[in-house]
Chain A
Amino acid sequence: MSDPRVEGDTTTVQVLEVLEPGLLTTVQDAGRPGLGHLGIPQGGFADPWSGALANLLAGAPAEAPLLEITALGPRLAVLAALAVGLTGADLGAVAGTADAIRAGRGRRLDPGRAHAIEIGEELAFDPTLAVPNTGFRAYLAVPGGLAVPRVLGSAATSLAGGFGGLAGRALRAGDRLSSVLPGPARPSGTTSAPWSDSPSRPFLPPGTVRGRVRVVPLGASRPAPLEHLCSRPWQVAPTSDRMGLRLDGVALPSGSGEALSHGVVRGTIQVPPDGRPIVLLADHQPTGGYPVVGVAADADAAVLGQLAPGDEVRFEAIPLQAALEARRAVRDALPGLARDPANSGAGRWDELWRWARG
């Protein structure tokens, strides 16, 4: 067992070592809001629902730092027994000894649950076990959250800015990750999110549909070709990233091309001169100058964050009030999990704290 290290008021223990980093694995949290006037993006979880849920399943605060895993997952050595929260896309997570995993005998870790993993095991992602059409990003959380220095108030990795997370970069082999509140949190069996057995919309927030994005029109003085946007499907282009989804399809009529830059939000749908829309994601720039046709309901942030290159996406115009109700439904679904000690592991905190303090 690793020795706990006390740093100031915080006890940390090394819990994971990166053996292979995967395609793009970064530390993310709820981001750094309130700095748009300095040009600094909020950043944070690309799929905020899955990020918060993974943390709650692991027994961490909803906004705590965790690993955001893109398409092809990492291989991690487990340095301390702990319970991890796993959500988002099913990228084929397995746990077990290195030999067992290599022989295809690893324990399969389903998303939407907390899983106990043991010291000396590996936690890996086998792409041959990944389930198609479940999304693009998985979230892996540890009890108490990852111990990562805050930069401008957040541990979120800004890849474009080169700061936050682990020196502003994606994980690489040899990185060691510590948990703020580690411990032998062993859930009796596994803990599941209540809707995770619904095959029609696995792991997405209530009321949302994979590949469907609801859009709130702009004000009366800014009419825009929303009918065009909503009348046909679009494909997610491979040039998409955490800043924005670039969409291929029948190009929209583009406006003058360049307007005065103004503040924008996650979910803003811009139309550059080539008529192919861009939907802004977590790392979007705080201001933009392209014409805007509408803003995605924030309840669908999880849908947007789980779209992979090649996926099809459809837009549906809804009134502002409907977007508000959708937002309320998503918000109200999470605290239920947080309050339930069986899900959140919160009941174990006192015990874990004493253990970690030695």
Chain B
Amino acid sequence: MTGAVEQPRLPSVEPFGEAALLVTLGDTLDVVTARRAQALATAIRSSVGDDPRWADIVPAAASVLVRFDPLALEREAVRETVARLATEVPAAPPRPADARTHAIRVAYGGEDGPDLAALAAVTGMRVEDVIDLHASEEYEVAFLGFAPGFAYLLSVPDPIALPRLATPRPRVPRGSVGIAGRATGIYPAPLPGGWRLIGRTDAILFDPLDPDPVRLRPGDAVRFEPR
């Protein structure tokens, strides 16, 4: 392979600006890799406590971003700590002990799920079968991102795991349930977005006035119940 990008050995720990490191654990969207990212974030947090020089630790699909104060901490010391903890992450961490299970009632199709019919047409399935398939799976919260309380839920069954829309909508209604590849998710607030919308729920996923503001947490299980 000539001119190929040098593949990092995983886990890799690389600078992300002068005040952050990006730890990459894998390059796939799956529950095991996401659990490993959560496990690493938890390990870093318990290692540094509430030391404010570690500004933010953000796990995602297959990585952990570590923000720190580079004028108060030596970059090399941060890198060593993070790299050591990354090598100690189990190959297949269990679901967290305090994980919960949520049942989310969804109105599928129609105005609530404007992309459902088209998604069924693309897959050659009947609309009812798409709904059954989406609602038959027990999903796991892989990570939160994009917006407050927005949970990436894995894994959407293959036949209906279609990529995002080519053109995102400027505004997706609160509670919309969408599909983007192997992930499904619920818009906690009106937001721009490109996920294929198949339904909608009344569930409140983010309440900024609640000291525990987020309903779906990493590791939680989610079932969708057609209404």
Contacts and interface: CB of A to CB of B under 8 A. Distances in A.
A286 interface: yes
A338 to B, nearest CB: 16
B158 interface: no
19 contacts: A37-B144, A39-B214, A158-B208, A161-B147, A161-B208, A163-B208, A216-B18, A218-B14, A221-B6, A261-B60, A261-B152, A263-B56, A263-B60, A285-B146, A297-B17, A297-B18, A298-B17, A298-B19, A327-B71
Interface in B183-198: 189, 191
Interface in A179-225: 216, 218-223
Nearest to B28: A260
Interface of A: 33-42, 151-152, 158, 160-164, 168, 216, 218-223, 258, 260-265, 267-268, 285-287, 295-298, 320, 323-324, 327-328, 331
B199 interface: no
A47 B31 CA distance: 38
Interface stretch (B61-69, B86-94, B95-103, B125-133): B61-69
Contacts of B56: 33-37, 42, 263, 286
Interface in B144-161: 144-150, 152
B106 interface: no
A37 B148 CA distance: 9
Contacts of A267: 17
B58 interface: yes
Contacts of B41: 37
Contacts of A218: 14-16
Nearest to A326: B18
A159 to B, nearest CB: 11
Given A39-B144, A260-B61, A261-B61, 17 more contacts: A34-B55, A35-B56, A36-B145, A37-B144, A38-B149, A38-B214, A160-B147, A216-B18, A222-B14, A261-B143, A263-B64, A265-B17, A265-B20, A295-B18, A324-B71, A327-B19, A327-B70
Contacts of A216: 15, 17-18
B49 to A, nearest CB: 12
Contacts of A37: 41, 56-59, 143-144, 218
A37 B65 CA distance: 10
Contacts of A160: 147, 189, 191
A346 B28 CA distance: 54
A40 B213 contact: yes
The 5 closest A-B CB pairs, nearest first, are: A263-B65, A219-B14, A287-B145, A295-B17, A263-B58
A217 to B, nearest CB: 9
DSSP class of A's interface residues: helix, strand, loop or mixed?
loop
Nearest to A296: B17
B8 A39 contact: no
A219 B23 CA distance: 11
Interface string B33-52: 00000000100000000000
A286 B163 CA distance: 22
Contacts of B22: 219, 262-263
Contacts of A35: 56
Contacts of A320: 15, 18
A35 B67 CA distance: 12
B16 A295 contact: yes
Nearest to A161: B148
B145 A151 contact: no
Contacts of A263: 20, 22, 56, 58-60, 63-65, 67, 145
B223 interface: no
B147 A152 contact: no
A261 B71 contact: no
A163 B149 CA distance: 13
B191 A219 contact: no
Contact of B145 (A42, A162, A286): A286
Contacts of A161: 147-148, 189, 206, 208
Contacts of A331: 71
Nearest to B217: A38
Given A39-B147, A286-B58, A151 B209 contact: yes
**Residue among A152, A263, A268, A324 with the highest chain B CB neighbour number at 10 A:** A263
B63 A260 contact: yes
B65 A264 contact: yes
**Residue among B59, B62, B189, B208 with the highest chain A CB neighbour number at 10 A:** B208
Nearest to A319: B18
Given A39-B149, A298-B19, A327-B19, A262 B14 contact: no
Contacts of B20: 263, 265, 295
Interface in B172-222: 189, 191, 206, 208-209, 213-214, 218
Given A216-B15, A265-B16, A297-B17, A221 B5 contact: yes
A335 to B, nearest CB: 12
A152 B146 contact: no
B18 A298 contact: yes
Contacts of B18: 216, 295, 297-298, 320, 323-324, 327
B147 A221 contact: no
B148 A39 contact: yes
Nearest to B38: A37
